Amino acid sequence: MPKLSPKRNEHYSDKTDISVVIYAQNLLNKGYAKPISNQYTSKTLTTCRNDISPMRIIHGESPRHFRNQLNRITYGDVTIRFQDGISLDVDISYEDGLYIAFNDRFGVYGSGITYESAYEDFKDSFVDFYEDVMNLPEESVGESTIKLRNSLRQFTSYFKK
Amino acid sequence: MNEIDRKTIRKSIKKKGFILKESSNTDHEVYRLTHNGKLIPQIRVKISRGSNYKTYPQSLWCTMRALLGLDSNQEVAALLNCPLSKEEYFTILKSKNIL
């Protein structure tokens, strides 16, 4: 395992995981909630503009668990970029001899016997998940997929070389 | 419930309406849910083909929870081991507006 800091949340970032943003947006659309702040919008205008770090790390409660916050995912010739102030949270854990990298809300995960292989597997899975949701013909997918697609479109940009 | 055999997972999800995605990827298979002839691609199961994955430890299959649209590890275990029927699974997904 990588060396971890003894201080919990030492590198805590106030970026918001994209799955949380989409969940909140669904609640707003259904009238179940009202916005009380524009945190990620204001962050867009201030600190995020100068934030060029592609990754932040949050240390979890267990030394075998920590979290990365990604501004973008690059795998092969594809890059998926998240709007400023929004990240993709990737939890990394080590159990049963396997490294597991996963986003808890989308459920996308990757695994491997090394940290690097788990991380690559996660990126592969996320890009595959994203391309399926975004690119399948509209008539062949369910209504929930169309909703997720519209939400992802608002908060992400897709580039292919 | 600690480990689930890969073959059991494959057999169980096919019964629930998951179909194999055609892909050139040789490392793993991706199964996507179908319902009423429509694909629900965000509900999916990835099964690794590697020799390290003949059985899935709990730490790994638990991570499938959100990807399967379920809330608890017990539900995931029931789905992957087959006690949960296709109808019961779809009822859960409908209650969460996924279908």
Reduced to 3 states (helix: H, G, I; strand: E, B; else coil), residue B24 is: coil
Q: Report whether B18 contacts B40 (CB < 8 A).
A: no
Question: What's the confidence (pLDDT) of residue A36?
Answer: 55
Q: How many CB pairs under 8 A join A and B?
A: 75
Nearest Cα residue in chain B from A147:
B98
Tens-digit pLDDT profile for residues B41-99? 988 888 888 887 888 888 888 878 777 888 888 888 888 887 888 888 898 888 887 77
Does an H or E element contain A94, and which?
strand A86-95
Task: Indicate if ipTM > 0.90.
Answer: no
Backbone angles phi, psi at A9, to 5 degrees: 60, 25
Question: What's the confidence (pLDDT) of residue A47?
Answer: 41
Question: What's the confidence (pLDDT) of residue A45?
Answer: 35
Residue B78 C-alpha, separation from nearest chain A C-alpha, in angstroms: 17
CB-nearest partner of B38 from A98, A124, A140 = A140
What span, in angstroms and rounded, lies between the C-alpha atoms of A142 and A123?
25
Residue A134 C-alpha, separation from nearest chain B C-alpha, in angstroms: 10
CB contact under 8 A, B40 and A141: yes
CB contact under 8 A, B42 and A133: yes
Tens-digit pLDDT profile for residues A106-135? 888 888 888 888 889 999 999 999 999 999
pLDDT band for position A14 (50/70/90)? low
Question: What's the confidence (pLDDT) of residue B31?
Answer: 92
From chain A, the residues in CB contact with B21 under 8 A are: 132
CB contact under 8 A, B38 and A142: yes
- How close are the terminal C-alpha atoms of chain A, in Å? 33
For residues B39-68, b (16+ Cβ closer than 10 Å) or e, as one string?
bbbbbbbbbbeeeebebbbbbbbbbbbbbb
Question: CB under 8 Å to A150, separation ≥6 — which residues?
Answer: none
Amino acid identity of B80?
L
Q: Which of A119, A161, A125, A18 is nearest to B41 (CA)?
A: A125
Question: What's the confidence (pLDDT) of residue B33?
Answer: 92
CB-nearest partner of B63 from A109, A133, A141 = A109
